[in-house]
Structure 1
Amino acid sequence: MGKAVGFIIVSVAFFVSQINCQEAILHISNESSSINKEYCLVYNQSWTPLSQTLDAALQYPLVNMTSTTLCNTSGISPEVVKGKALVVMRGDCDFSQKAQVAHSLGATTLLIASNTLLITPSANDSEYAKTHIPLALMRYRDYLDAQQVFAGGMQVKLYAPLHSKIDASIAVMLLIAIVTVALGGFWSGACERDRLNGDVAGGGGGGGGGGGESKADSGELFLYSPLKVVIFVAMMCGMLVLMYFFYNVLVYIIIAIFCLASASALFGCLDAVMEKIGCATGRFSIRNHNFSVRSLILASLCIGIAVVWGVYRNEDRWIWILQDLLGIAFCLNFMKTISLSNFKICVILLSLLLVYDVFFVFITPFFTKNGVSIMVQVALGPDASGEKTQGNMVQVPAEPQAPTEKLPVVMRVPRFSALAQNLCGMQFSILGYGDIIVPGLLVAYCSRFDVWINSSKKIYFVSCCTAYLLGMIVTFAVMLLSGMGQPALLYLVPFTLITSAVVAGCRREMKQFWAGTTYEVLDSSREPLLPEGRTDSSVEGDIC
């Protein structure tokens, strides 16, 4: 059951493109008082660029024309609007027509009040050159609020602060990714060492990986057959497509599964830490049933965290902390539980998932009706329809709405540079669980191989972790330079696979690394962990 739960979560847990929002600020003041207030705007930077600072923005008096949609000049006197900013209602004609009418009347700025979803205003390429005044959308309810605050007339400025592309949230995301991968790999190697040491003490036989076609008693599951790997990836593709077509139903099933799986994973992680530091269990009996006080306390804590996340999962301000905590535990447990038996399986699995990631991010937009990739649509939910492949669209609700459900398959860290001016909604840096788990499985294999050859310097594990860190840095660098979200596996898979292969080649251990078998090391400076005479059959050891 646990393996099926993990499969369902990982099936949709891959990288999501980030939204390159084009949001601006409407600064309103009143000449008769020192009161000022700011509201959210949505604009098109390539169409009508705005000043980047408040001081550089020009100030104009605002004329209320919300009684019209301004599709023509009928009934409007140019003297009333000349040299002023206009606010009109959305509808009846396109944005470019409203802007041309406002410009012909002598207006300096056009604000379009909307009762529906705010979207980045756009037009045909031929219409862009005809618009010579700033144009932006605002919420109609914001304008009504401004009327109450500034009853004696309004002066407005429009500006779009330039947010640094290099946000501190990227560093936090990078830290989460590398620490999770390193801990998961180290945990997998430690379990392998405990299992082999326990087996040696028990006099058992068997090698550590190449022929492992059975589950260890610890609950670890080995992927050893190329055919099974292909079937595994094919099932992931099928699950993603099902989520695309039946999102509104399956999303609640995934959320329920995530709560159960992440609570169990968090319990496993915390229990392992308590065991490592020697925390007493404190047992008691009720009707001949033994209970551990430590386990009961940890179980209550983990279930409570999962329940709190489930109840408040749509609260953006702080719930991301719990989602990331549960996500880290889920990734760690998955990396410790699922073991790739040899480097050949690593190459097959990671290569297939690389193709899977690139196809569903870059290729599927050509087949979907709204031009959004299936990966983005599934991971961001139905609201992702406003994001095009160039990442230059944004949507902002005009009215308070019930939050749409999103799959818990990403790490989320708020963009710290945007927190101070969070008028349109919180912005997040996002990384899919799959970009941690998939390379993490290779890191875990390298960690176990270090155990099999008794490498005191953990050369394979350290090298693969370093390659993962460099791959993540390259991923973020390309994302920042291109302004588009990237399928991280496109960079992580080559970095980790090539680095691992180069290390094995330089150490002349490629044959053993490829097959995954334990063996005698001829170099006396690196004595093998296993004694002579051990075979390459799978090991059944003590529970880790």
Structure 2
Amino acid sequence: MAFPGLRLLLLLLLLLFVIAAGADDAKSDDERAPKSESCNNPFQLVKVDNWIDGVEGNVYNGVTARFGSLLPQKAENSVRTPAIFSNPAHCCSNSTSKLSGSVALCVRGGCDFAVKAEFAQSGGATGMLVINDSEDLFEMVCSNTSETNISIPVVMITKSAGEGLNKCQVYFPLDLQMVDCELSIAVEILLYAPPRPLVDFSVAFLWLMSVGTIVCASLWSDLTTPEKSDERYNELCPKESSNAETAKDDFDKEIVNIDSKGAIIFVIAASTFLVLLFFFMSSWFVWVLIVLFCIGGIEGMHNCIVSLTLRKCQNGGQKTVSLPLFGEVSIFSLVVLLFCVAFAIVWAATRQESYSWIGQDILGICLMITVLQLARLPNIKVATVLLCCAFVYDIFWVFISPVIFHESVMIAVARGDKAGGEAIPMLLRFPRLFDPWGGYDMIGFGDILFPGLLVSFAHRFDKDNRKGVSNGYFLWLVVGYGIGLVFTYLGLYLMNGNGQPALLYLVPCTLGVTVILGCIRGELKTLWNYGTDSSLSTEPSEV
């Protein structure tokens, strides 16, 4: 590869960033929140259209409370209403401001949310907006013993949204005291809650990217191996000898065969690191992950571009230049490296932009293709240990961890809840095209790499044993993986957008298919012990 020891870095990325698939970056209804007969509304995401002195402002997002009336789904079914700041601002007593026929604007704190709503309703308000003291949308619920009789909609908005509506700074958030506003500013708002679509077509593109990555990684050696190649053209550190056999041996030494012990340690270490991310994730640590991702993405992208180019243009890398640290290197390889570095830097600088998912997915796919060339499963015995451990890992950190940590650790890390909402980059994502709330559907690298290791093994097994398409294993595992992803997203939608442990569906659809086909064909023993007596199994290192 381009840098000595880069193999270890790529495998470290594989080890540390095994994040859930099917994650949805929008918050959904929380069934654990307290409910009562008068406080059992589902949480609705709300659009807050606003006008300041007749000029339309930015559209803000909010979330409704467990109590109060529900909002219409369409803007045309709602009413444009004046908004008045309550006095006192916390709405914990009768307001001296005239609220009749208006939406009351209140700040969080001072008393229960239901108490605020009762005072706003008694003052004649037609609704209430609660301004949070942070950028989160807190779920407003009733106390365990309270019964409410609130018939107006109650919505929470973020601190920045409240500042956007509070143009004349009519209150100080710290002491909750009202001040005079010299300018007469009219604020009007319109509240509605458009539903999320049951199915968004973005998952189809994510499905294609995931399946395509595994297929390309499995077939990569067939797609990129020229009839006669000079290994130095794909190297920034040339070998001591350009002999073809020596180059092949060097490549084999870079391959890591995962053994059963390594598979178990792998999952334990990934779990440990996931917990550390959950507790200590911060904005600076996200930058560390971004740098690591960029390094791996640069190497992966460089490897993919050079391999594909030299497949067709074998003489394209013959011109070389001598560098102080690297010695004699191919000019073509160096130019490609500089391009990849520039690509990664531009992505990192623009990662908050709406189009940044394109660069992230390109770097991620190239990284995973390269990792799947370096890490290999020697047989089904090791695959069973690794995938079964990953199967339990995924289910535990998505479904069982909320019992211990009060939220899903894996989904919280994937969304970046502890890092100001910036998700870690070790995900493929695609924007939800027809969702009024926007956001992204995501799939973690682990949900591609784990099954990808098995699919790559199936292709090598078919090739070594000269099996055809129909009587081999590769095609059936690709189909099984695709069906498993369909089940994953079906479960995502049936569970109201809550993140799913994708390996719950992918492992049975890949490993299960392999075992069933092996039993039917009488080849299970061969698959189980494959490579144990082969000299090839001793050439690569083990992990």
TM-score bin (small chain): 0.7 to 0.9
Identify if the C-alpha distance between structure 1 residues 7 and 306 changes in structure 2 by more than 3 Å, giving closer, same or farther: same
Q: Would you say the 8 A contact 1:168–1:415 is kept in 2?
A: yes
Single out whichever of 114-123 and 47-56 deviates more from structure 2. Answer: 114-123
Give the Cα–Cα distance (whole angstroms) in 2 for the partners of residues 187 and 287 of structure 1.
30
- Is the contact between residue 86 and residue 99 of structure 2 (CA under 8 Å) also seen in structure 1? no
Kindly indicate whether residue 25 of structure 2 is the aligned counterpart of residue 13 of structure 1: no
Aligned match of 1:142: 164
Greater CA drift, 104-113 or 56-65: 56-65
Per-residue CA distance 1:380-406 (angstroms, 9 max, x = gap): 33448xxxxxxxxxxxxxxxxxx6654
Shift of 1:182: 1.2
Question: Which residue identity is paired with 1:537?
Answer: S
Q: Give aligned pairs, total.
A: 478
Instruction: Choose from 239, 252, 276 the match for 2:273.
Output: 239
For residues 541 and 137 of structure 1, the distance between their equivalents in structure 2, rounded to whole angstroms, comes to 61
> 1:456–1:94: structure 2 CA closer, same or farther, 3 Å change rule?
same
SS at match of 1:41: strand
Deviation, 1:510, is 1.8
Deviates more, 1:174-183 or 1:450-459: 450-459
2:369 to 332, 349, 362: 332
Aligned to 2:297: 262
Number of the residue aligned with 2:501: 487
Match of 2:150 in 1: 131
Q: Select the residue among 49, 54, 72 that pairs with 1:27.
A: 49
2:88–2:95 Cα contact (<8 Å) kept: no
Equivalent residue for 1:68, pick from 63, 78, 89: 89
Q: Answer yes or no: is the 8 Å Cα contact 1:365–1:374 preserved in 2.
A: yes
Distance of 2:391 and 2:222 partners within structure 1 = 25
Instruction: Output the CA distance in 1 between the equivalents of 2:66 and 2:528.
Output: 52
Deviation at 1:216, TM superposition (A): 5.6
Q: Distance in 1 between matches of 2:311 and 2:454?
A: 25
Q: Distance in 1 between matches of 2:226 and 2:525?
A: 22
- C-alpha displacement of 1:285: 4.5
Change (3 A) 1:501 1:190: farther
> 1:211-262 CA distances to partner (integer Å, 9 max, x unpaired)?
xxx9962621112x32222222222223223333443365443322221111
- State the SS of the aligned residue for 1:296: helix
Matching of residue 4 in structure 1 with residue 8 in structure 2: yes
> Is 2:226–2:312's contact at 8 Å kept on the other side of the alignment?
no
> What code does the residue aligned with 2:361 have?
D
CA contact (8 A) 1:27 1:37 kept: yes
| Gaps in structure 1 of 5+ consecutive residues | 196-201, 205-213, 385-402, 519-534
1:40 and 2:60 aligned: yes
| Aligned mates of 1:128, 1:306 — CA distance in 2 | 55
Give the direction of change, closer, same or farther, for the CA distance of 1:65–1:539 in structure 2 (3 Å limit). Answer: closer
The reply to whether residue 536 of structure 1 matches residue 540 of structure 2 is no
Q: Which residue of 1 aligns with 2:174?
A: none
Counterpart contact for 2:429–2:441, Cα < 8 Å = yes
Counterparts of 1:194 and 1:447, CA distance in 2: 20
Residue matched to 2:263: 229
Task: Say which SS state the counterpart of residue 63 (structure 1) adopts.
Answer: strand
Residue 220 of structure 1 aligns with an amino acid whose one-letter code is I
Q: What does 1:284-299 correspond to in 2, within 5 Å? A: 284-286=319-321, 290-299=328-337
CA–CA distance in structure 1, aligned partners of residues 64 and 8 of structure 2: 45
Q: Report matched runs for 1:48-197 at 5 Å.
A: 48=68, 49-65=70-86, 68-73=89-94, 75=96, 80-124=98-142, 126-127=145-146, 129-138=148-157, 139-145=161-167, 153-187=186-220
Task: Summarize the Cα distance change of 1:241–1:87 in structure 2 as closer, same or farther, 3 Å threshold.
Answer: closer
Please state how far the C-alpha of 1:333 moved relative to its aligned partner.
0.9
- Amino acid aligned to 2:193: A
Q: Is the 8 A contact 1:263 1:326 kept in 2?
A: yes
Of 492, 513, 523 in structure 2, the residue corresponding to residue 509 of structure 1 is: 523
CA separation in 2, counterparts of 1:515 and 1:428? 42
| Correspondence for 2:479 | 466
Q: Quick one: distance in 2 between partners of 1:536 and 1:88?
A: 73
- d(CA) in 1 for partners of 2:481, 2:366: 19
Amino acid at match of 1:488: A
Measured in 1, the distance between the counterparts of 2:335 and 2:417 equals: 39
Q: Contact (CA 8 Å) 2:65, 2:156: kept in 1 or not? A: no
Specify the SS of the correspondent of 1:280.
coil
CA separation of 1:177 and 1:146: change in aligned 2, threshold 3 A? farther
Range moving further from structure 2, 292-301 or 36-45: 36-45
Pair 1:434-2:412 in alignment:
no
Deviations, residues 77-100 of structure 1 (Å, cap 9, x unaligned): xxx323332222332222211101
User: Shift of the alpha carbon at 1:345?
Assistant: 0.8
Give the AA of the match of 1:20: K
Structure 2: gaps spanning 5 or more residues: 29-43, 170-180, 229-242
Q: Residue 539 and residue 382 in structure 1: after superposition, are their counterparts in 2 closer, same or farther (change >3 A)?
A: closer
Tell whether the 8 Å contact from 2:48 to 2:62 is kept in structure 1 after alignment. Answer: no
Q: Which amino acid aligns with 1:303?
A: V
Which secondary structure state, in structure 1, belongs to the residue aligned with residue 48 of structure 2? strand
In structure 1, C-alpha distance between the alignment counterparts of 2:315 and 2:224, rounded to whole Å? 21
| Amino acid paired to 1:378 | V
| Cα distance, 1:146–1:54 mapped onto 2, change above 3 Å | farther
Aligned-residue CA RMSD (Å): 3.3
Q: How far off its partner does 1:408 sit?
A: 1.7
Q: CA deviation at 1:71?
A: 0.4
Q: CA deviation at 1:176?
A: 0.9
In the superposition, the TM-score normalised over structure 1's length comes to 0.79
Give the one of 275, 281, 289 matched to 2:316.
281
* Residue aligning to 2:232: none
Correspondence for 1:412:
429
What is the rounded CA distance, in whole Å, between the counterparts of 2:221 and 2:481 in structure 1?
17
> How much does 1:338 deviate?
0.5
Q: Answer yes or no: is 1:346 the counterpart of 2:386.
A: no
Deviations 1:251-310 (CA, angstroms, capped at 9, x unpaired): 443322221111101111111111222353243354695432321221111111122223
Q: Is the 8 A contact 1:188 1:447 kept in 2?
A: no
Q: RCO (CA 8 Å, sep 6+): is it higher in 1 or 2? A: 1
1:509-528 aligned within 5 A: 509-517=523-531
Q: Secondary structure at the match of 2:189?
A: strand
Equivalent position SS for 1:14:
coil
Give the share of equivalent positions with the same residue, in percent.
26
Aligned partners of 2:336 and 2:440: how far apart in 1? 30
Provide the C-alpha distance between the structure 2 equivalents of 1:469 and 1:45, rounded to a whole number of angstroms.
39
